[in-house]
Amino acid sequence: MADHYEVLGVARDASADQIKKAYRRLARELHPDVNPNPEASDQFKLVTHAYDVLSDPQQRQQYDIGPQPGFGGAGGAGFGGFGDIFETFFGGGQQSRGPRSRRERGQDALVRVEMDLDEVVFGATRDIEVNTAVLCETCDGSCCAPGTSPATCDICHGSGQIQRAVRSLLGNVMTSSPCGTCRGYGTVIPHPCPTCQGQGRVRAARTLSVDIPAGVDTGLRLQMPSQGEVGPAGGPQGDLYLEIKVRHHDTFSRNGDDLLATLEVQMTDAILGATSVLKTLDGDITIEVKPGTQSAEVITIKDRGITHLRGSGRGDLKIGIQVVTPTKLNHKEQNLIKELSKSQKNVPPHLAQFQQGLFSKLRDRFHA
């Protein structure tokens, strides 16, 4: 190994200013931006390393003494230094860690999907457009321009780590940190791929055909493994999550797996009975209003609700009755109502009792 003093061209008793001046002179001559000669580049690295050691009083003292055995030694090139013992017991150092991989797992992606209520009842197949990172087709994830490959880092020599001597109460300790030139990868990309700029992935839109099961509800997230972002350097894909939002329906609302609807009935139909046709999500059904039907009564149609997300079968369709009282009557109609009122054995007004309201009755019967 070249002597640091000889590399800088100074005497062993040179002052700190003399060492600094020698380094600056050589750096101006050998810097790669000034001197493109490969040999000059190698020499510049030696000069820089020599200056790093000799400009630090502690490192210079240890260098002048040379490697010493035992705990107080320099812990540099030889064995027996504290750095070696520390690494032996605690697993530190360059050899145990090694360079890290450029390939990393991609991030998860989230897409929100709006659905109609009929799609929720029966399930649906949807084409979902996803804009995520995908594998670069030019370099196939290698990050390099076609015909090129990564090069070993000439600073850490492929280890991805830089070792430095740090003074402590127990002497010099060798520590390792990621190489700043290659960022711990151990390799550099001399010629990055022009398509992805050396990332190994590009952002692009793609279309996925997704089978959404019946029974989903607003806020539910469906996981699609390995359909998310491609990782750096063509790393494995993350997951894709579909977040469901169910659109409002003008006729039906939902309570668990039951569908709820309200049927308005004229007073005369409630008294005499009638039939009505309701357009449901899977066809028309005939609703029979029995004579004497009261407001807040609920008619239940079995197995015409939401399909169970887990398990088989469906919920029920529950129809709440609301009797509509006419507000405008002609003279003849008023007389007929009066005659009807006289024929009924009603409770006198002063004996009438308050009862649970319509909305409370509907709520309790819907949720029963």
Binding-site residues for Zn(2+) sit at 136, 139, 153, 156, 179, 182, 193, 196
Token pair of 53 as six digits: 């050691």
- The residue written with tokens 């890290």 in the block is 100
Task: Give the integer Cα–Cα distance in Å for 55 and 144.
Answer: 39
DSSP 8-state secondary structure symbol assigned to residue 251: S
- The residue written with tokens 């699609």 in the block is 224
- Tally of CB atoms within 10 A around 15: 10
Q: Is-contact 178 110, C-beta < 8 A? A: no
Token pair of 43 as six digits: 């020499």
CA-wise closest residue to 222 among 209, 240, 237, 238:
240
CA-wise closest residue to 115 among 274, 280, 244:
244
Cα-based distances in Å from 170 to 71, 81, 83, 229, 232:
7, 11, 10, 48, 42
Task: Give the integer Cα–Cα distance in Å for 3 and 261.
Answer: 92
User: 3-state DSSP call for residue 288?
Assistant: strand
Q: Which residues pair with 113 in a beta bridge?
A: 244
Task: Give the integer Cα–Cα distance in Å for 64 and 69.
Answer: 15
Q: Is-contact 367 253, C-beta < 8 A? A: no
Whole-angstrom distance between the N-terminal and C-terminal Cα of the chain? 89
Binding residues: 136, 139, 153, 156, 179, 182, 193, 196
